[in-house]
């Protein structure tokens, strides 16, 4: 899974696309879901973000990835995230659902309108999920 984020950081479009299932979908907080390989590739590279991964946790149904993301041109605008990933039977990325660990401020490039109690609910839920699985 590290490879997908490395390809995004290096803007390796074709390499990143090779890891995606044709029916891939991405669900970002406060935004419409994006479906299909071409649409997801356009989304990822139009946002031009840099990822720094902190941990990867495997589960029977998928993978949790925690880290920090920021716009390539603004490292001061970093936001913590958790991605929940699932894979197709042949090992390609099928779904990614993102949660922000700390909601971005109003003028932040990643602002998506999370509620004020989001951070506490998020940490509680992620803590419950992480206790069930071990990191890889």
Q: What is the pLDDT of residue 122?
A: 54
47: closest CA among 16, 19, 21, 24? 16
Q: What is the pLDDT of residue 116?
A: 44
Whole-structure pTM value:
0.73
Question: For 47-82, how does the pLDDT look when each residue is reduced to its tens digit (9 = 90+)?
Answer: 889 999 999 999 888 999 999 999 988 877 888 999
Tell the burial category of 134 from Cβ atoms under 10 Å away from its Cβ (0-12, 13-18, 19+): exposed
Question: For 96-129, how does the pLDDT look when each residue is reduced to its tens digit (9 = 90+)?
Answer: 999 987 655 544 444 444 444 544 555 566 555 5
Instruction: Give the residue extent of every domain in the chain.
Output: 2-106
Q: Does domain 2-106 have CATH number 3.10.450.50?
A: yes
Which residues 6+ apart lie within 8 Å of 82 measured at CB?
64, 65, 66, 98, 99, 101, 122, 126
CA atoms within a 13 Å half-sphere pointing along the CA-CB vector of 75: 3
């Amino acid at each position: 899974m590290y490879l997908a984020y490395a390809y995004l950081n290096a803007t390796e479009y074709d390499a990143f696309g090779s890891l995606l299932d044709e029916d891939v979908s991405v669900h970002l907080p406060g935004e419409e879901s994006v479906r299909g390989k071409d649409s997801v590739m356009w989304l990822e590279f139009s946002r031009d973000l840099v990822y720094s991964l902190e941990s990867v946790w495997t589960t029977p149904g998928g993978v949790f990835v925690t880290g920090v993301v920021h716009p390539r041109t603004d490292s001061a605008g970093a936001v913590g995230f958790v991605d929940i990933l699932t894979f197709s039977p042949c090992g390609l990325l099928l779904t990614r659902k993102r949660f922000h660990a700390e909601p971005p401020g109003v003028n932040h490039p990643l602002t998506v309108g999370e509620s004020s109690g989001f951070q506490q609910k998020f940490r509680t839920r992620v803590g419950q999920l992480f206790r069930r699985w071990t990191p890889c």
